């Protein structure tokens, strides 16, 4: 595309931002610059690239596109979502600093915070913002507030604007993991958040063939610090991973619409199913955070959590009994996945702590893919029947 992308809609930005035709050959798709180093015209004089840990043209295109979709000035890509998280926290929270984190987060985030950082001297409070107002949880001296919304796996919705107001009042910054909602349905920076983090492994890539992460932000000083650490630490994605994620972004909007359509139909069915105790879907009127979700989200994708009657043993058998839903960790791909958090994605959380925050032994998490919804429903019904 020629000219500015100002004023263009999301779908157009996803296809064109940061991706002009390659100037040498005219290639429409951004090439995979599989290169480690770049020729310099003279010492200290180059064409924008000198070493691929620092910058790579394929990564630059991806970062420009991601920033545009999230409404940020800058994006920095990393080799995984946890690499993005680690670099962000170490950049902006000094050793011994205090972090407030939601109590319901991805198990890998909890493991990093509680099992890696805490023993090294950082201080963490894991808070249920449903029962503890952010004005109480966030105290003077807090450096960072980390929230997922909707959360993983319980799909709680956190009031981003309220958390931001409480954090900024004491000089703390706010990072929002927007992996589940994606920028299609939620824009944390527009609600005042300082940083947005994604596991690009999930919906942004959408094809289960890449591991990656990204931090988006608009503050120039913070960007310069984080960019320095991205280069110094070096946990960056390779050009092939960047290319595949960039390709996936082109269909993000249409994929999310289909994820949402099928997810909503399965939610309505599960709510009426006799073998299901509870169902969580943020934009359904039955959800306790429905009003917050309506205020800060324009939709939701294909993530559903439900509690299966029968406990852990039945949950174990249930997730192994499906044929179309694949028993696997991760989410957000074109294929439907099923897992039990207590035994898989959140097994790093102590059993008593899992139960205390509401992750029941019978909890099932679905990532609803792009298969026909009638086939998905029949597949789940087969698992219900086989495990009775």
Active-site residue numbers? 53, 106, 177, 202
Distance, CA of 163 to CA of 129 (rounded, Å):
9
CA angle 155/203/164 to nearest 5° reads 50
Decide: 233 and 286 in contact? Cβ < 8 Å.
Answer: no
Q: Which residue is it, tokens 């893919």?
A: 369
Helix axes 252-271, 373-386, angle to 10 degrees: 40
Distance, CA of 197 to CA of 85 (rounded, Å):
7
First CA to last CA distance, the chain: 56
Distance, CA of 192 to CA of 201 (rounded, Å):
25
Distance, CA of 128 to CA of 105 (rounded, Å):
11
Decide: 341 and 310 in contact? Cβ < 8 Å.
Answer: no
| Residues near 357 by beta carbon (within 8 Å), at least 6 away in sequence | 103, 104, 128, 154
Q: Residue 185: which of 131, 245, 244, 263 has the closest Cα?
A: 263
Distance, CA of 360 to CA of 378 (rounded, Å):
25
Pairing of β 303-308 and β 363-367: antiparallel
Decide: 16 and 5 in contact? Cβ < 8 Å.
Answer: yes
**Two structure tokens written together for 227:** 């960019």
Instruction: Sort 259 into a burial class: Cβ within 10 Å, 0-12 / 13-18 / 19+.
Output: buried
Distance, CA of 74 to CA of 64 (rounded, Å):
7
Helix-then-strand count for the chain, H and E: 15, 12
Pairing of β 98-102 and β 142-148: parallel
């Amino acid at each position: 595309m020629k000219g500015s992308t100002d004023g263009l809609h999301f779908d157009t930005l996803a296809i064109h931002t940061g991706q002009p035709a390659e100037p040498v050959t005219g290639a429409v798709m951004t090439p995979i610059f599989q290169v480690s180093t770049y020729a310099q015209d003279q010492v200290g004089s180059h064409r924008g690239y000198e070493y691929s840990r620092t910058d790579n043209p394929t990564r630059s295109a991806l970062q420009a596109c991601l920033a545009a979709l999230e409404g940020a000035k800058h994006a920095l890509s990393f080799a995984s979502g946890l690499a993005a998280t680690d670099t962000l926290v170490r950049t902006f929270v000094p050793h011994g600093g205090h972090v407030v984190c939601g109590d319901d987060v991805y198990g890998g985030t909890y493991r990093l915070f509680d099992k890696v950082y805490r023993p090294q001297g950082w201080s963490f409070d894991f808070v249920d913002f449903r029962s503890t107002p952010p004005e109480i949880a966030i105290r003077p001296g807090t450096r960072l507030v980390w929230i997922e919304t909707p959360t993983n796996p319980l799909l709680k919705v956190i009031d981003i604007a309220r958390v931001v107001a409480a954090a900024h009042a004491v000089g703390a910054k706010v990072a929002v993991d927007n992996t589940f909602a994606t920028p299609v349905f939620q824009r944390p920076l527009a609600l005042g958040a300082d940083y947005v983090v994604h596991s690009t492994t999930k919906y942004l890539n959408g094809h289960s063939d890449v591991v990656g992460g990204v931090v988006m932000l608009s503050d120039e000083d913070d960007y310069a610090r984080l960019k320095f650490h991205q280069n110094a630490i070096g946990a960056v994605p390779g050009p092939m991973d960047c290319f595949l994620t960039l390709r996936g972004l082109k269909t993000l909007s249409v994929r999310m619409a289909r994820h949402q359509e099928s997810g909503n139909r399965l939610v309505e069915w599960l709510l009426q199913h006799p073998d299901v105790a509870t169902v969580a879907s943020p934009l359904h009127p039955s959800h306790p955070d429905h009003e917050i979700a309506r205020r800060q989200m324009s939709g939701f994708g294909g993530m559903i959590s439900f509690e299966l009657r029968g406990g852990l043993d039945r949950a174990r058998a249930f997730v192994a009994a499906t044929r179309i839903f694949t028993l696997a960790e991760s989410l957000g791909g074109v294929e439907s996945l099923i897992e039990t958090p207590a035994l898989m994605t959140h097994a790093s959380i102590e059993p008593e702590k899992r139960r205390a925050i509401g992750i029941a032994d019978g909890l099932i998490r679905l990532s609803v893919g792009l298969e026909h919804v009638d086939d998905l429903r029949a597949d789940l019904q087969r698992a219900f029947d086989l495990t009775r």
